[in-house]
Amino acid sequence: MALVLNEEQVMLKESAAGFLAEKAGVAQLRALRDSGSERGFSDEVWREMVEMGWAGIAIPEAFGGLGYGYTGLGLVLEQAGRNLSASPLQSTVLVAASVIGELGSAQQKEQLLAAIAAGDKLVSLALQEGAHHAPLQSSLRAQAQGDDYVLNGEKLLVLDASAADTFVVIARTAGEPGDEQGLSAFLVDADATGLAIAPRSMVDSRSAGALVLDGVRVPAGNLLGEAGAAWDGLSRALDVASIGFAAELLGLSTEAFERTNAYLKERKQFGRVIGSFQGLQHRAAEMFAELELARSIVLQALHAIDDGEADLALQASAAKAKLCEVAQRVTSEAIQMHGGIGMTDEHEIGFFIKRARVVQHIFGDYNYHLDRFARLNGF
């Protein structure tokens, strides 16, 4: 597919940009933070997003979605990145819906995806257990008991944990940490007996939490896909999620860069604007180059999802690794080039570096994905 946006996509991008800048920008994120909001986003704004169809933007029309594909969702996520918009777009629309789409039965998809698309349900993936993304190391146990499974263990960094109605919990029904075989995905409702949800305060002021599952009992019907066979679908869904987060990083980094470039034209020292200093000009030009490269790989990777390309894993790790690298550089330079004002909580630029590091970490950072990229390339 040609690496260009069609008219429909350009319109989507523009309307998302306008809406998010007005309703869900950095000022709103700051207000949410300062009010100590546990949900971490505004239900009202989320409602409006749902009405625009965003909750089902990548969900096929057959399941009540808009069927714009992941390229469409990626464009919205890019704008969400630019504005640091807090909403369940990532947790539910990008991640959980993809996992359900990959692993769910026809009936589960019909129910759950339709509910997500209608904005009736927030779902979040509970995967990570340690300090790092290491999906195969999952050790949370699910023991079969009659027609039920009993789940015991802990999960970390569950996005929008306080707001979610349902979790997709990755658990081991067999095998040992490190094995592909034996991983299963269970639907666990937020009000399940034995489930404790602890909100965690994260550096990006967004809502995430830890789950403790102490003998949580779910019927076998809550399995997504077959017991022990979740890995392939999960791994594909994680590739999709990584590409979506790369799109968010693209928007975030582009915005941080543009704000910095504007500051270079405004701030005066030594009797001239600091943007006239070549030491800064070249660093800015290099960042511009890196951002253009970043934009290309994100678009190519989004297309790879929609076109069902065989090298999705490679595209995903390339996109996430590159965007982690670029986001890290751009947000760090953004602070440096703002000088002292960049270190203040009052200035907005600090919000970008904070969100960047969290998104970089989620589902594998630069180190994880560059290593995987090399392995996928055979070395």
Is there binding between residue 373 and other proteins (CB under 8 A)? yes
Among positions 62, 292, 307, 339, the unique one binding other proteins when judged by CB under 8 A = 292
Residue nearer to other proteins on the CB measure, 133 or 369 = 369
What stretches of the chain adopt beta strand conformation (E)?
Answer: 123-126, 141-145, 148-159, 166-172, 183-189, 195-201, 207-219, 223-224, 268-269, 272-273
Question: Under DSSP, is residue 223 helix (H, G, I), strand (E, B) or coil?
Answer: strand
Among positions 300, 309, 354, 358, the unique one binding other proteins when judged by CB under 8 A = 300
Q: Which residues contact 56 (CB under 8 A, 6 or more apart)?
A: 63, 64, 65, 66, 93, 113, 116, 117, 118
H-state helical runs in 106-151: 106-108, 114-117
Question: CB-side exposure of 313: number of CA atoms within 13 Å?
Answer: 13
Is there binding between residue 284 and other proteins (CB under 8 A)? yes
Provide, rounded to whole angstroms, the least separation between the CB of residue 71 and other proteins: 13
Among positions 261, 267, 309, 347, the unique one binding other proteins when judged by CB under 8 A = 261
Which listed range, 31-39, 233-241, 297-305, 327-335, lies at the site for other proteins (CB under 8 A)?
A: 297-305
Is there binding between residue 12 and other proteins (CB under 8 A)? no
Provide, rounded to whole angstroms, the least separation between the CB of residue 40 and other proteins: 33
16: amino acid identity, one letter: A
Of 180, 190, 168, 175, the closest CA to residue 103 belongs to 168
Contact 285, 360 (CB under 8 A): no
Which listed range, 48-56, 125-133, 176-184, 287-295, lies at the site for other proteins (CB under 8 A)?
A: 287-295
Residue nearer to other proteins on the CB measure, 213 or 314 = 314
Please give the Cα distance from 181 to 136 (Å, whole number): 9
Residue nearer to other proteins on the CB measure, 262 or 343 = 262
Among positions 39, 236, 322, 355, the unique one binding other proteins when judged by CB under 8 A = 322
Provide, rounded to whole angstroms, the least separation between the CB of residue 123 and other proteins: 32
Is there binding between residue 295 and other proteins (CB under 8 A)? yes
Contact 224, 100 (CB under 8 A): yes
Q: Are strands 223-224 and 195-201 parallel, antiparallel or unpaired?
A: unpaired
Of 180, 177, 186, the closest CA to residue 213 belongs to 186
What are the two backbone dihedrals, phi and then psi, of residue 88, each rounded to the nearest 5 degrees?
-80, 20
Provide, rounded to whole angstroms, the least separation between the CB of residue 324 and other proteins: 11
Please give the Cα distance from 98 to 185 (Å, whole number): 13
Is there binding between residue 270 and other proteins (CB under 8 A)? no
Query: What are the angstrom distances between the C-alpha of 282 and each of 63, 259, 335?
Result: 49, 17, 17
Is there binding between residue 264 and other proteins (CB under 8 A)? yes
Which listed range, 118-126, 217-225, 318-326, 347-355, lies at the site for other proteins (CB under 8 A)?
A: 318-326
Is there binding between residue 2 and other proteins (CB under 8 A)? yes
Provide, rounded to whole angstroms, the least separation between the CB of residue 261 and other proteins: 6
Question: Under DSSP, is residue 211 helix (H, G, I), strand (E, B) or coil?
Answer: strand
Among positions 156, 192, 212, 293, the unique one binding other proteins when judged by CB under 8 A = 293
Structural element, H or E, at residue 188 = strand 183-189
Q: Which residues contact 101 (CB under 8 A, 6 or more apart)?
A: 59, 109, 113, 237
Contact 91, 122 (CB under 8 A): yes
Please give the Cα distance from 12 to 10 (Å, whole number): 5
Polymer length of the chain: 379
Is there binding between residue 316 and other proteins (CB under 8 A)? no
Q: Which two tokens stand for residue 228?
A: 């022990």
Among positions 145, 276, 332, 344, the unique one binding other proteins when judged by CB under 8 A = 276
Which listed range, 55-63, 85-93, 221-229, 269-277, lies at the site for other proteins (CB under 8 A)?
A: 269-277
Provide, rounded to whole angstroms, the least separation between the CB of residue 136 and other proteins: 14
Provide, rounded to whole angstroms, the least separation between the CB of residue 371 and other proteins: 8
Q: Which two tokens stand for residue 156?
A: 């970390």
Is there binding between residue 336 and other proteins (CB under 8 A)? no
Is there binding between residue 277 and other proteins (CB under 8 A)? yes
Which listed range, 90-98, 121-129, 138-146, 371-379, lies at the site for other proteins (CB under 8 A)?
A: 371-379
Q: List contacts with other proteins (CB under 8 A).
A: 2-4, 261, 264-265, 272-273, 275-278, 281-282, 284-286, 288-289, 292-297, 299-300, 318, 321-322, 370-371, 373-375, 377-379
